[in-house]
Structure 1
Amino acid sequence: MPSVPPAASILASLGQATFAWDLATDAIAWSDNVAAVFADIPEAALASGAEFAKLIEPSRSVRREAVGQAAPASGEAVPYRIEYGVRAVTSAPVIWIEETGVWFAGADGRPAHAQGIVRINNERHARDEQLLKLSRHDPLTNELNRTYLIASLAETIEECTRFRTSCAFMLIGIDHLARVNDAFGFDVADAVIAEVAKRIRARLRSGDMLGRFSGNKFGLILRNCTVDDTNVAAERFLAAVRDDVVPTKSGPVSVTASIGAVTIPRHAKSAEEAVNRAQETLESAKSRRAGSFAMWKPNVERDAQRRVNIRVTDEIVTALNERRIVIGFEPVVEARSRQPAFYECLVRMEQEDGRALLAPDIVPVAERLGLIRLVDHRVLELAIAELATSPGVQLSLNISPDTTMDPDWWATIESLMRAHQGVGERLIVEITETVAIQDIDDVRGFVTRLKNFGSKIAIDDFGAGYTSFRNLRKLGVDIVKIDGAFVQNIVHSADDRAFVQTLIDLARRLQIKTVAEWVQDEEAAVMLREWGCDFIQGRLIGLASPDRPWSGQPEKAVPATG
C-alpha cells in the first residue's frame, strides 16, 4: 500500500498554502510549502500582513477589509472569501489568488486572528477576463460593441459638459456593403469589415475610442476634438478606407465609406441625441455622394418640418380613430357616351372646423411618415362597404406601394370579400407604375390574387415611369390610366399629343382599356375620343365629391382645403 504524502506536499501540488494571521502583531505563519506557491516572493514579504499587502493589486487593503466586516458572537468563526493579484516586482506577471478563510474576535470584539487557504487561480481569472472582454467587445473586429460604445459616449458627454471641453462623435458607414455580400458572400464582407476596423484603429489618436455600431457602421468618440480637428480626422479615415483595396480570399475588393459627425456637447447633450444626429448626417452624406463626410448643423426648416410631421401624424391617427377619414367619389366616364363607367375613391380627412384635406395633402405625408397602410386599410373598408350597399356601382381605389405586399391588407380584403359576395367583381385596384416595375414576379402574384376575386387591375400614372408594354401583358393589367401631366396640355403641346396618342394605340393593340386623367376641356376630350381612348376623367367631367350620384340623394358637401 503506497504511503500518504505529507499535507504540505499535497497543498503544493494543488498550488495552495495555508496561513495563520495574528492580527494583533500582524505576523503571518505559513505552511511549509509556501515557497513553492510563491516562488518569486521573498520570505520577508510574506512575514506580515503589512508587507504582504504591498504586493497586492488592485487594492492593497482588500485583506484587512475582509476581516471584521460583521460582528460575531463570542468565539464564533466568521468566514470570508476574496480575490486579488500578487506581483513580486513591477515587471513580473500578476499571480491571481483566491483566499478562503475565517476570522475570530478577541475579548474586545475586534478581530484577533484569522486562518485560511490561499490558492493560485490564474486560469479562472483569465477566463473571467475573457468573458468580460467578450461582453464589451465585438467578436469580429475586437473593437467595443455597441452597448459599451454608447455607455462610453454617455460618460464622455458628461465629462465634456463638466470640464467645458469639446469632443465629436462619428459614425462611419461602409458604402454598398450589401453588394459585397451579394457578389462574394458574407465571409468576404466580414473580412472587409474587419479590415476597415483595422485601418480606422491605426489612425486613431491616443484616448479616442472605436466601436462597431452595427453591421456596416463604426462609432468613434474623438476626445478634445474641435470642428477643424473633426474635418481633418474625417478625411484621414475616408482616405484610409478608399485608397487601398481590401485583400480577401476571393480577390481584392474596393470599398469606400461615408461619415456623419456631430460636435459634443454643443449639438448633442445626450448619447441618444448624438447617435441620432450622427445617423441622420451619415444618411445625408450617403444620399449626396458615397464616400463623403457631413457634419451635423442646426437647420430651421428641417426642425420646423419635423414639428409639422409630429402634428400631422397626430392628426391622421386621431382622424382614423374618430372615423374622420372619408372618401370622395370622382367620376370616370366613357369617352364617347359620357356615361359614368366607375368612380375613383379618393381619400379625404375631415377637420374639426368642418373643412377637409384632400388626397394630395394627405397621401404624400402619410407615406413619408409610415401611416399610409393605416389610411389604405380605412379606404378599403369604406369602398367595400359602399359596394355592398350599392349593387349597381363600380369603384376604384388607389393603394400605396408598400400596401401591395402588406399581409394585413390581404387578410382584410379576403375577409371583406367573403363577407360580401360579389363585390370583388365591381372593384378596380389601382397601383402606381413605379410599383409595377419594382418586382414583376411579386406584383404578378398580387394581381393574380385580386383577379381571383373577380377584381380588375389598373396601372395609375402610366407614362411617368418606365414600365414596358411587355410587363403590362405579363401582369394581365385591365386598365391603363395615362398620367395627367401628359394629358392636360395635349391641346397646346405636339409632344404630349404624340405621346398620349401612341400610348392609346399600343394599349388598344394589347386589348387594354385606357383612361385619360386631368382632362381639362372639351377640345381635349374630343381629341382623346377620336384617338380611341376609352374613358376620361378630370375637371371637365367633375372632381371628387362626397355626393353619391347613384343614390339620388347628395351628401352634405364638406368644403375642401389645400
Structure 2
Amino acid sequence: MDAKTQGTRRSGDMAGFSVREALAEDLLKSAVTAVGDAAYRWSIEDGVLTWSAGASALLGISDISTVATHRDFATRLLVEGPGRYELICRSREKDKGTGVPYELEYQIRDDFGGVRWVEDRGRWYAGSDGSPALAVGVLRAIDERHKREAELIRLSTYDELTGLLNRVRLKEALTEAMIASQRGRQNSAFLLIAVDNLALINDAFGFDVADEVIVSVGERLRSLARRGDSLGRYAGNKFGLVLRNCNEERLGGVCERMLAEVRDKVVMTGRGPVAVTVSAGSIALPGHASSVEQALARAEEALVLAKQRLRDSHVVYTPSREREKARLRNINVADELITALNDKRIRIAFQPIVDAVSGEAALFECLVRLEQPDGSILSAGHFVPIAEKLGIVGLLDYRVMELAVEALRNNPHVTLSLNVSGRTTADRLWRETLAAHLRADPDLARRLIIEITETVAIHEVVELTEFVAMFRELGCKIAIDDFGAGYTSFRNLKTLDVDLVKIDGSFVIDLATSPDNQFFVRTLVDLARNFNLPTVAEWVSNEEEVTMLRDFGVKYLQGFYLGEPAMSLPRADYTSMTRRIVA
C-alpha cells in the first residue's frame, strides 16, 4: 500500500473517530439532561462557562447567558467553606493525565427570590504548565435531600410536640453547662419542672387538651428563659431548664417566678380554660453534683419532695446525710435481693388463718422471706417496701408464685392464700405462668386464694376486673387484703366479684379498748355479710380480741396469737401450728 493510500485511510479513521466521539458526547449530554442534571465546561484560563441544556431549569436562571463566566456564577453562590475555585485552583494535587476529582455542595440564588441547594461534582485537568486549565462537571439539585436531612436533624434535636429541645439535646446542654461550671467559668443550675395532675386533665378533658396544656406551659417557661439558657421537654409532663450564670441564692426566686408564670393565668384550650400549676425541683451546680446523671437524679429527688408537699411547690436540693444513708441502704438491700433470687434463697413462711369457731387452721397465707447466706431469715418488712420502690417486686412475686404452686402440689390437702402486688396484676408473664399451672392441674386452683390489696382495688378496678375474672374462671378464689385502709366502696367489691374480705389489722389492734375500732370493724362485718362475703381479721393478738371478733361475726382470724409463720407446712395435723381458742 503506497503512502498516499495509507494517508487517506488514516484520515478516514480519524474522521470516523471524531464522529464516534461526537456521538458519545451527545449521548452523555442527553443522559445528563434526561435525569434532570446539568453539565458544564469551565475554561479556567479565560473564565468561560459553557452550559448543557437543562441548566436554566435546574438553576432557576431564565437567561443562562447571564452566568456565562465563573465570576458571574460566583456572585450568586452561598458557600460554606471552600468554593469550587478554591478546591480547583488552590489544589495541591497533581493531574497525572486522568484529571483530579472534586465535589462540593452549595446554595445558589435563582431568579425568583429563592435559593437552591446544588451538588457539584467533576474533574479538573491541567494545562501544559501543570496548573488547572479546564474543569468539567455535573450539577444536581439536592433540595429534597437537604429537607430530609434538616428534618432528621430537627427530630433528633427538638421535641415534636413543643418545639423545645428533646431529652437527648437537653442532657447535652446540661453536660456543657456542668463542664463550664467545673472549670470555674460560671455557676449554673438545673430545674426539673412537672405539670401537676396531668392525669386528671387527661381524664377530664382528653389527651388533646392535655397536649395543649403541655405546649402552653412550655411557651410560658420559654418566655422566662434567658439567652444562653436551655429549655427542653424532659419527659411526658416534665420540662428541664439549664440555667447559666445562676447561683444557689437566686435559685429559689427563679423557681417561684416559674411557678407563678404558670399559676397566675389559665390555659385557654379548644375546650375552654384550664387552671394549671407546676411543681419544681432544682439543683445548684457544680456544688451538689459531679456528673450529669447525679444532677438529674438529685433534681428528680427534689421534685418528688416538692410533690409530696402540695402541688404548686418547689424544692431546692440540699444534701442530707439521712437521705444518702437511706439510698445506700436501698442499694444494698436491692443487691442482696437480686443475689438471693439468683441463689434461690427466697422462701415462703406459712401463717395459719383459723376458723373463728373451731380454732382449726382453714388455710395458710404465704409470706415471703429472704434467707441470708448465714441461714438467718429476714421478714418481708426488711425488703419488700424497697423492692416495690425500686420496681423489682415483680421478680419477688414471680418466685413466690412458683414456691406456692410447689407447696400446693406437695400438700394436697392444704389451701393457700397468695399475695399479689399491684404491679404484678398487670404482669402478663406472671398471669400466663400461673394460669398454665392451674390448667394443667385444676385441683391447685380449687385450693388457691389470690389476695389483692385494697389500694390496688381502689385505683385499678377496671384493669383488675379482667384479672379477677380470669382466675375465678380457672377455679381460684379472690380476697381483698387490708380492707378498710383505703375505704373501698362495696360497689367495687361487687364489680370485682371477690370471695373474701380481710379487715386491715390496724382496726384490730387495741380493739378491746377502742370504741372507734369496734364500731368500724362491726360496720365492715355487717356490710360484708349483706354481700355474702366472709371476713378475715388480721393481727389478732389476744383472747379478748378473739371473743369480740367472733361475736361480731368474723369468719376467720389471723395473727401471731393464733399461729406464727412457719417455714414449712405440717404433713397432716395443722392444729400443731395454731393456738386452740375457747369457743
Fold match, TM over 0.5? yes
Q: Which residue of 2 aligns with 1:534?
A: 555
Q: Is the 8 A contact 1:459 1:477 kept in 2?
A: yes
One of 488, 493, 517 as aligned partner of 2:509: 488
Q: Does 1:401 align with 2:450?
A: no
Q: Which residue of 2 aligns with 1:115?
A: 135
Q: Is the 8 A contact 1:330 1:343 kept in 2?
A: yes
Quick one: which amino acid aligns to residue 454 of structure 1?
A: G
Deviation of 1:357 after TM superposition, in Å, equals 0.5
Quick one: which amino acid aligns to residue 175 of structure 2?
A: A
One of 97, 103, 115 as aligned partner of 1:75: 97
Q: Is the 8 A contact 1:388 1:420 kept in 2?
A: no
Quick one: which amino acid aligns to residue 545 of structure 2?
A: A
Q: Which runs of 5+ in 1 are unaligned?
A: 1-6, 556-562
Q: Does 1:58 align with 2:80?
A: yes
SS of the residue 1:422 aligns to? helix
Q: Does 1:19 align with 2:42?
A: yes
SS of the residue 2:282 aligns to? strand
Q: Does 1:206 align with 2:257?
A: no
SS of the residue 2:385 aligns to? helix
Q: Which residue of 1 aligns with 2:210?
A: 189
Q: Could you say if the C-alpha distance between residues 428 and 263 of structure 1 is closer, same or farther in structure 2, counting changes exceeding 3 Å?
A: same
SS of the residue 1:247 aligns to? strand
Q: Does 1:356 align with 2:377?
A: yes
Q: Does 1:419 align with 2:419?
A: no
SS of the residue 1:495 aligns to? helix
Q: TM-score, normalised by structure 1?
A: 0.82
Cα separation, 1, equivalents of 2:205 and 2:528? 43
Matches for 1:215-226 after TM superposition, within 5 Å = 215-226=236-247
Quick one: which amino acid aligns to residue 430 of structure 1?
A: E
Indicate the percent of aligned positions where both proteins have the same amino acid.
43
Q: Does 1:327 align with 2:356?
A: no
SS of the residue 2:233 aligns to? strand
Quick one: which amino acid aligns to residue 337 of structure 1?
A: S
Deviation of 1:129 after TM superposition, in Å, equals 7.7
Q: Is the 8 A contact 1:175 1:257 kept in 2?
A: yes
Cα separation, 2, equivalents of 1:271 and 1:62? 44
Cα separation, 2, equivalents of 1:437 and 1:16? 74
Q: Could you say if the C-alpha distance between residues 201 and 16 of structure 1 is closer, same or farther in structure 2, counting changes exceeding 3 Å?
A: farther
Q: Is the 8 A contact 2:88 2:124 kept in 1?
A: no
SS of the residue 1:157 aligns to? helix
Quick one: which amino acid aligns to residue 99 of structure 2?
A: A
Q: Is the 8 A contact 2:280 2:303 kept in 1?
A: yes
Cα separation, 2, equivalents of 1:330 and 1:59? 79
Q: Is the 8 A contact 1:548 1:554 kept in 2?
A: no
Q: Is the 8 A contact 2:422 2:452 kept in 1?
A: yes
Cα separation, 2, equivalents of 1:472 and 1:96? 68
Deviation of 1:273 after TM superposition, in Å, equals 3.3
Deviation of 1:356 after TM superposition, in Å, equals 0.2
Q: Which residue of 1 aligns with 2:125?
A: 104
State the aligned residue count.
Answer: 536
Deviations 1:527-559 (CA, angstroms, capped at 9, x unpaired): 33333332222222221112423346999xxxx
Cα separation, 2, equivalents of 1:215 and 1:513? 44
SS of the residue 2:511 aligns to? coil
Quick one: which amino acid aligns to residue 103 of structure 2?
A: R
Q: Is the 8 A contact 2:263 2:275 kept in 1?
A: yes
Q: Could you say if the C-alpha distance between residues 38 and 61 of structure 1 is closer, same or farther in structure 2, counting changes exceeding 3 Å?
A: farther
Q: Which residue of 1 aligns with 2:5?
A: none
SS of the residue 1:529 aligns to? helix
Q: Does 1:268 align with 2:313?
A: no
Cα separation, 2, equivalents of 1:342 and 1:553? 9
Cα separation, 2, equivalents of 1:54 and 1:429? 78
Quick one: which amino acid aligns to residue 445 of structure 1?
A: E
Q: Which residue of 2 aligns with 1:558?
A: none
Cα separation, 1, equivalents of 2:117 and 2:497? 76
SS of the residue 1:402 aligns to? helix
Deviation of 1:80 after TM superposition, in Å, equals 0.9
Cα separation, 2, equivalents of 1:187 and 1:389? 55
Q: Which runs of 5+ in 2 are unaligned?
A: 1-28, 577-583
Q: Is the 8 A contact 2:77 2:106 kept in 1?
A: no
Q: Is the 8 A contact 2:230 2:242 kept in 1?
A: yes
Deviations 1:216-273 (CA, angstroms, capped at 9, x unpaired): 3333222222223433333333232222223333323332222222223333344333
Cα separation, 2, equivalents of 1:148 and 1:350? 46
SS of the residue 1:343 aligns to? strand
Cα separation, 1, equivalents of 2:505 and 2:144? 75
Deviation of 1:355 after TM superposition, in Å, equals 0.8
Cα separation, 2, equivalents of 1:79 and 1:447? 73
Cα separation, 2, equivalents of 1:509 and 1:54? 89
Cα separation, 1, equivalents of 2:566 and 2:102? 84
Cα separation, 2, equivalents of 1:127 and 1:450? 55
Cα separation, 2, equivalents of 1:102 and 1:304? 69
One of 220, 231, 243 as aligned partner of 2:264: 243
SS of the residue 1:491 aligns to? helix
One of 276, 285, 295 as aligned partner of 1:255: 276
Q: Is the 8 A contact 2:453 2:480 kept in 1?
A: yes
Q: Which residue of 2 aligns with 1:232?
A: 253
Q: Is the 8 A contact 2:118 2:143 kept in 1?
A: no
Q: For structure 1, which segment, 116-125 or 230-239, has the greater mean C-alpha deviation from structure 2 after superposition?
A: 116-125
Q: Does 1:158 align with 2:185?
A: no
Q: Which residue of 1 aligns with 2:532?
A: 511
Cα separation, 1, equivalents of 2:142 and 2:570? 88
One of 526, 544, 548 as aligned partner of 2:565: 544
Quick one: which amino acid aligns to residue 157 of structure 2?
A: R
Give the root-mean-square deviation of aligned CA atoms. Answer: 4.1
One of 288, 297, 300 as aligned partner of 2:321: 300
SS of the residue 2:226 aligns to? coil
Q: Could you say if the C-alpha distance between residues 106 and 286 of structure 1 is closer, same or farther in structure 2, counting changes exceeding 3 Å?
A: farther
Cα separation, 2, equivalents of 1:266 and 1:296? 11
Q: TM-score, normalised by structure 2?
A: 0.79
Q: Is the 8 A contact 1:68 1:111 kept in 2?
A: no
Deviations 1:98-121 (CA, angstroms, capped at 9, x unpaired): 54442234677x643342469697
Cα separation, 2, equivalents of 1:509 and 1:186? 40
Q: Which residue of 2 aligns with 1:501?
A: 522
Q: Which residue of 2 aligns with 1:446?
A: 467
Cα separation, 2, equivalents of 1:380 and 1:462? 23
Deviation of 1:523 after TM superposition, in Å, equals 2.4
Matches for 1:278-289 after TM superposition, within 5 Å = 278-289=299-310
Q: Is the 8 A contact 1:53 1:61 kept in 2?
A: no
SS of the residue 2:225 aligns to? coil
Quick one: which amino acid aligns to residue 494 of structure 1?
A: P
Cα separation, 1, equivalents of 2:470 and 2:192? 44
Q: Is the 8 A contact 2:95 2:125 kept in 1?
A: no
Q: Which residue of 2 aligns with 1:127?
A: 147
Q: Is the 8 A contact 1:103 1:111 kept in 2?
A: no
Q: Is the 8 A contact 2:360 2:574 kept in 1?
A: no
Deviations 1:144-174 (CA, angstroms, capped at 9, x unpaired): 3333333333233333333532122223323
Q: Is the 8 A contact 1:153 1:271 kept in 2?
A: yes
Q: Is the 8 A contact 1:67 1:103 kept in 2?
A: no
Structure ranking higher in helix proportion: 2
Cα separation, 2, equivalents of 1:474 and 1:200? 44
